[in-house]
Structure 1
Amino acid sequence: MAVLNRNAEALFWIGRYMERAENHARLIDVHYHLQTEIEKEAALGAASSEGSKHVESGSKWLRIVDALGSRAAYEAQYSTYSEMDVLGYITLDRDNPNSLVSCVSHARGNLRTLREKVPSELWDTINAFYLWLREKQVDDLSKESPHQFFGQIKEWTALFQGNAQSVMPRENEWHFIECGRYLERAENTLRIMKSVGNSALVGGWGAGAAAEYPYLQAILKSVSGYQTFRRYHADAISVEGIVEFVVLNAAFPRSVHFSLHTLGEHLGGIELHDKQLRAAHERIIRQVSKVKADLACVEREDLGLDREGAIVSHLFESCQQLGVTFAKTFFRMGEVSA
């Protein structure tokens, strides 16, 4: 049981925080460009007053903060939604626990306590990532391309994950990191769908292919699934096809189906010797199995009719509950990081 409690918590949250940094970079990048493209199209379609442009711009940045679940915390610090305030808050603000720099810092702090238990390549990568990111200033985001900046975030997280895949022994430490990674991935894929879907309900969901197309593309691009999707659906981009692909596809590694099934495999790979802990371990495995069973009952037609996002919301809440159960099973309560 040496790996349990504090070590298990640290490993699990290393996986979660690194995945969260990557997913937040994806979501921010896609939201940023989606709303910019929509505003450009709207500006071409109709003349707007300066006041209406200001309101629409503020609405864009509000939606990005909403997408990360940080609206209340943001509004406690800022009175308006401007580009520089929002980009600073969601990327480099150390007081925001879900900013990119905070996620990387938390993952680094957890890994520091385990340096003797994990390969040195992981520490070297995450430390270099943190040192690079902490030197960035908000002004750098305006001078450089935001798309390029968020692309670099994804490259750093991919480097960390690649090193972990290459050199970590397939023992409990590995399985705890991967449990955190795939639970976070399932949650964030669902969060992206909820966020883009909410924007689409305002901007054109159900208004026809032309109005829906930017939102549908955004979902695919945010999970780097556009090219893979086109292999399955060469000429047809539809709400039903995209939601089915992102939720139910068994081969695409960022789908909800793939994430939950991989989470189940890593949970099953954890070896425990304490009888009481094994019983709790079996309960969480059964809970994951129930979520997978709910997912197996979902049909393409159900997803197509679910324009209000009830199915996605239910799956998202189920994933959040899995996180609570995981903490109760393996961590000392009161010390869990979020």
Structure 2
Amino acid sequence: MLNRTAEALFWIGRYMERVENHARLIDVYYHLQQDEFNKGSNHSNDNDKWMRIVDALGSRTMYEQSYKEYNEQLVLFYATLDRDNMNSLVSCVSHARNNLRTLREQAPTEMWDVMNSFYLWLREQQADGLLHESPHQFLGQIKNWSNMFAGCIHSVMSRQNEWYFIECGRYLERSENTLRILCTVEGYACKANALQTDSYSYLQAVLKSVSGYQTYRRQYADRITVPEIFEFVIMNPTFPRSIHFAFHQLVLNIRSLELYDKPLKVAHDRIVRKLSKMIAELDCLEVNEIYNEDEEKLTAQLLQSCQWIGDEFAQTFFLIGEVSA
């Protein structure tokens, strides 16, 4: 089952997680911009505010190769319906669908039905309608489709290697997305004055972009600070989008893979050891080590580790470049 099939499954997990994460992030940040506009906040830095969305998606370099400025129309189109952007919502769904199409004889019919319907609906959406009607409704529908697909695979897939590869892709993607959001927070914290009037709204948006606002409030009440956000999003063991939780799920799914080839087992064990070491290092962190003057180094190290795991997966299980995009 390895090689091309494993790679297709892994990337289905990654792309569909990316779609849901990006739709939520765009929705939250878009409404933050609109709230600030309605409150009459300073518009001289609107360019920077729209740039935050692109930075959180991890694609500023790609954006600036195609567009010369940051504004509502360009950023929304780039992030959602721009087929030239390989990480736009429509591109990610298309990539996931293409990978699933190669597995139609092996995958449950329900998976294809949901994926294909999602793609056909999204393909019909127009950029003009996105702005003139309601980005919130459009992005909400994206999240609904993504959750429908996630619920479908949870309901119909056997817990065998096929399932574990999808879940490995999902949790690796979730880790990287969360870390990129934290990187935008650290950049914002370096620029922002602690007394700035929109700081609280921005930090609220950060928590909402990982669906963590209510869970955070139950733990920290009304205190919303950058250090506590980092502690919560990195270390919380029960929050499904924390780095700690995602790493634990990733290692559990990797360990569950059934492998019979000895070289594969050796490479597999190397990935498990690396992940286990990362989790142990997180467990040993003191609270004041999570966010301080060296905090940027921590997020950079975690992102680098995620990229190492992705590379090791490719070298161990996949035929490089034949399925992923």
Tell me how large the CA RMSD over aligned residues is: 1.9
- Determine if contact 2:58/2:180 at 8 Å carries over to the other structure: no
Unaligned stretches of 5+ in structure 1?
A: none
Letter in 2 for 1:31: Y
- Determine if contact 1:196/1:215 at 8 Å carries over to the other structure: no
Percent identity, aligned pairs only, is 59
Letter in 1 for 2:35: E
Letter in 2 for 1:16: R
Deviates more, 1:77-86 or 1:312-321: 77-86
In the other structure, the counterpart of 2:171 is 182
- Whole-angstrom distance in 2 between the partners of 1:191 and 1:292: 19
In the other structure, the counterpart of 1:152 is 141
- Whole-angstrom distance in 1 between the partners of 2:257 and 2:67: 44
Of residues 80, 95, 115, the one that matches 1:106 is 95
- Whole-angstrom distance in 2 between the partners of 1:33 and 1:313: 28
Of residues 238, 255, 269, the one that matches 2:242 is 255
Tell me if 1:67 matches 2:48.
no
Offset, 1:117 = 1.4
Deviates more, 1:254-263 or 1:220-229: 220-229
Tell me if 1:196 matches 2:185.
yes
Letter in 1 for 2:161: N
TM-score, with structure 1 as normaliser: 0.90
Judged with a 3 Å threshold, the aligned counterparts in structure 2 of structure 1 residues 75 and 102 are, in CA distance, closer, same or farther, namely same
Judged with a 3 Å threshold, the aligned counterparts in structure 2 of structure 1 residues 62 and 211 are, in CA distance, closer, same or farther, namely closer
Of residues 259, 274, 280, the one that matches 1:272 is 259
TM-score, with structure 2 as normaliser: 0.94
Judged with a 3 Å threshold, the aligned counterparts in structure 2 of structure 1 residues 287 and 66 are, in CA distance, closer, same or farther, namely same
- Whole-angstrom distance in 1 between the partners of 2:179 and 2:246: 11
Of residues 32, 37, 53, the one that matches 1:34 is 32
- Whole-angstrom distance in 2 between the partners of 1:228 and 1:140: 34
The 5-angstrom pairing of residues 48-67 of structure 1 reads 53=43, 56-67=45-56
In the other structure, the counterpart of 2:204 is 217
Question: Secondary structure of the residue that 1:305 maps to in structure 2?
Answer: coil
Of residues 315, 319, 323, the one that matches 1:328 is 315
- Determine if contact 2:189/2:226 at 8 Å carries over to the other structure: no
In the other structure, the counterpart of 2:158 is 169
Question: Secondary structure of the residue that 1:241 maps to in structure 2?
Answer: helix
Question: Secondary structure of the residue that 1:213 maps to in structure 2?
Answer: helix
- Determine if contact 2:10/2:165 at 8 Å carries over to the other structure: yes
- Whole-angstrom distance in 2 between the partners of 1:71 and 1:231: 34
Unaligned stretches of 5+ in structure 2?
A: none
Of residues 66, 71, 78, the one that matches 1:82 is 71
Offset, 1:245 = 1.2
Offset, 1:86 = 1.8
* CA deviation vs aligned residue, 1:161-208 (integer Å, no higher than 9, x gap): 11111111000000000000000001111111112332343233xx14
- Whole-angstrom distance in 1 between the partners of 2:278 and 2:323: 23
Judged with a 3 Å threshold, the aligned counterparts in structure 2 of structure 1 residues 222 and 11 are, in CA distance, closer, same or farther, namely same
